[in-house]
Every structure is written in structure tokens, then in C-alpha cells.
Amino acid sequence: MSDESSDDPTVPVVCSECGTDTDVPLGDVADAVERHNERLHDGEDVAQVDPAIAEAITDLVAEDLGLLDDHADD
């Protein structure tokens, strides 16, 4: 890998069936998970972004979109 990719943020990807846990550069996550699942699990969605990280990202997006606001202005 080049030194440029070492500056990219990474995301933990886990596979409970293989017992693996690895950090993947953010821009490569979708492809890496898909390749792993295709190659080792016949395309089944086994490997995935660490569920705790996925939940945290979902919460951040919901907050940014204002979906978690109290609507106290009513």
C-alpha cells in the first residue's frame, strides 16, 4: 500500500464466522466487505462494519438531518 492510504481514516470490519477483525480504509469498506463475503461466504452478508460503529454513524447522520430534534418549538 502507498503512504497516502495510511492517512485515510479506517473502519473496523468484523466477520463472526471467520473470527476476523480488521481495519479497512474508509473508501475501501464496501468493496472489501463485498469481496470477503463473495470469496468466503458465497455472497452471504456475514462480514460487516463493526455494529457499534455502524450504529454510531447512523446516530450522527440522524442528528445531522435533525431527526433527533425534540420539536420543542411547537
pLDDT along the chain (74 residues), means of 10: 63 96 95 97 96 92 86 50
Cβ-in-10-Å burial (0-12, 13-18, 19+) of 41 comes to: middle
Strand partners, 23: 12
Model pLDDT, residue 8: 83
Model pLDDT, residue 69: 75
The set of cell numbers assigned to 38 is 463473495
Rounded to two decimals, what is the model's pTM?
A: 0.71
Contact (Cβ atoms closer than 8 angstroms) between residue 26 and residue 10? yes
Name the strands in the sheet holding 10-15, side by side, starting at the edge strand that comes first in the sequence: 20-25, 10-15, 48-49
Model pLDDT, residue 1: 37
What are the backbone dihedrals phi and psi of residue 62, each rounded to the nearest 5 degrees, phi first? Answer: -60, -40
Model confidence pLDDT, tens digit, residues 57-70: 899 999 999 987 76
